């Protein structure tokens, strides 16, 4: 059995076309290429996940004092369900902890049942709701606010 190489590399301009294209495939209301550029310029932790040298996911992590906030975390459709989301969450937690964070937050659509299940599995807990947070096909959708203590 071969060992799969998993690498988390800081996102570069060379990743942006792929990342933005993946976001368009994954979400009805995706981030734009400019959203990712703005995150990089702001100094947020922007990561590309490579699996055996191939891009397979990406994430954006914002640090504020002793808190981390996952702004975007995504695994390309072909690699979902293979454990990469959990590996990415572990990586983001390690980065946040090393930067002095004591907790990590995220928002997720209540309709994203797979993501909710993953977040709960790795120790995130629901701490609130943001009414009408996300654009939706028929108006707005709430966000479930989740926290994981590091």
In this predicted model, what pLDDT tens digit does every residue of 61-117 receive, in sequence order? 999 999 999 999 999 999 999 999 999 999 999 999 999 999 999 999 999 999 999
Class of domain 6-107: alpha beta
* CA atoms of 77 and 73, how far apart (whole Å): 13
Coil vs helix vs strand at 43? coil
In this predicted model, what pLDDT tens digit does every residue of 54-76 receive, in sequence order? 999 999 999 999 999 999 999 99
- The pTM of this model reads 0.94
Two tokens at 28? 């009805």
Coil vs helix vs strand at 126? strand
Two tokens at 38? 């703005």
* CA atoms of 106 and 124, how far apart (whole Å): 9
Active site residue 133: no
User: Which one of 44, 51, 58, 119 is the catalytic residue?
Assistant: 119
For the chain, the structural domain boundaries read 6-107
Active site residue 113: no
DSSP 3: P
């Amino acid at each position: 059995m071969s060992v799969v190489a998993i690498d988390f590399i800081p996102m570069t301009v060379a990743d942006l076309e792929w990342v933005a294209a993946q976001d368009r495939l994954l979400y009805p209301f995706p981030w734009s290429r400019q959203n990712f550029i703005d995150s990089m310029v702001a100094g947020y932790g922007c990561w590309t996940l490579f699996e055996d040298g191939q891009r397979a996911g990406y994430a954006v992590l914002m640090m504020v004092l002793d808190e981390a906030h996952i702004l975007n975390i995504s695994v390309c459709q072909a690699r979902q369900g293979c454990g990469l989301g959990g590996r990415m969450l572990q990586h983001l937690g390690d980065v946040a902890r090393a930067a002095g964070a004591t907790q990590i937050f995220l928002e997720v659509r209540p309709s994203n049942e797979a993501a909710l299940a993953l977040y709960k599995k790795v120790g995130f807990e629901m701490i609130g709701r943001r009414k009408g947070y996300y654009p939706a096909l028929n108006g707005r959708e709430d966000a479930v606010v989740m926290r994981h203590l590091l």
